[in-house]
Amino acid sequence: MFNKIIYVLTGLFLIISCNNPFKKELPIIKDSPIFQLVDQDNIIFTDQEFFGKITVLDFMFTQCMGPCPVMSNNMKTLYEDFRGNPDVQFVSITVDPENDDQKILKDYSKIQGVDDSRWSFLTGNIDSIKNICQDGFLLFADNLPAGHSVKFILIDDKKRIRKYYNGMDLNEIRIIREDIKNLLAS
């Protein structure tokens, strides 16, 4: 009888330790897409920039009167939270490249308080951006610029998409902050 109790307790311990609900293991959704765009300083930015860094990425445009100002403010909060940590970077890809050239993106980056290379604002041709958004990051891109996603995408240092977050929801911003910390610690 005592041995049965020990076996049951050992089995329960193994089940609980393997399926710990408090462990914050993020799923691996897929590899991030291969792409090449240009940043606000007219420097080529490719998906290879994701290697070795935790990246938060979103799609936005500077003339947006809808969700983009909220998203940019939330991204700015994260950018400031990880100030001084070169292992965390932020990437915003415009979905309105006709209007958002490098000069506009440079001015917008200054408005956001960007004073280092940890937050890049990218542009390219609209077909490439639609492909990156829809096929690469699995987000809708049918009606750009107005119909863009409000998701923040967390990418790990091995260039893998780990999780999506609502970029307008402050609770989700708290969650992504903790997930970034967990990825940095792993």
Place of tokens 């300083």: 41
Question: Given this model, what pLDDT does residue 58 score?
Answer: 97
Question: Given this model, what pLDDT does residue 98 score?
Answer: 94
Question: Given this model, what pLDDT does residue 21 score?
Answer: 44
Question: Given this model, what pLDDT does residue 24 score?
Answer: 60
Beta carbons within 8 Å of 111's beta carbon, 6+ residues apart: none
Question: Given this model, what pLDDT does residue 134 score?
Answer: 92
SS3 content of the chain, % helix, strand, coil (to 5): 40, 20, 40
Question: Given this model, what pLDDT does residue 20 score?
Answer: 42
Among 129, 137, 118, 142, CA closest to 40 = 118
Q: Is 94 helix (H, G, I), strand (E, B) or coil?
A: strand
Angle of the 170-185 helix axis to the 68-81 helix axis, nearest 10: 30
Question: Given this model, what pLDDT does residue 114 score?
Answer: 92
φ, ψ dihedrals at 3, nearest 5°: -65, -40
Question: Given this model, what pLDDT does residue 170 score?
Answer: 96
User: What does the pLDDT profile of the chain (186 residues) look like in tens digits?
Assistant: 444 443 334 333 334 333 444 446 899 999 999 999 999 999 999 999 999 999 999 999 999 888 989 999 999 999 999 998 999 999 999 999 999 999 999 999 999 999 999 999 999 999 999 999 999 999 988 777 778 899 999 999 999 999 999 999 999 999 999 999 999 998
Question: Given this model, what pLDDT does residue 9 score?
Answer: 40
Query: Is the Cβ–Cβ distance between 105 and 68 less than 8 Å?
Result: no
Query: Is the Cβ–Cβ distance between 137 and 9 less than 8 Å?
Result: no
Question: Given this model, what pLDDT does residue 141 score?
Answer: 81
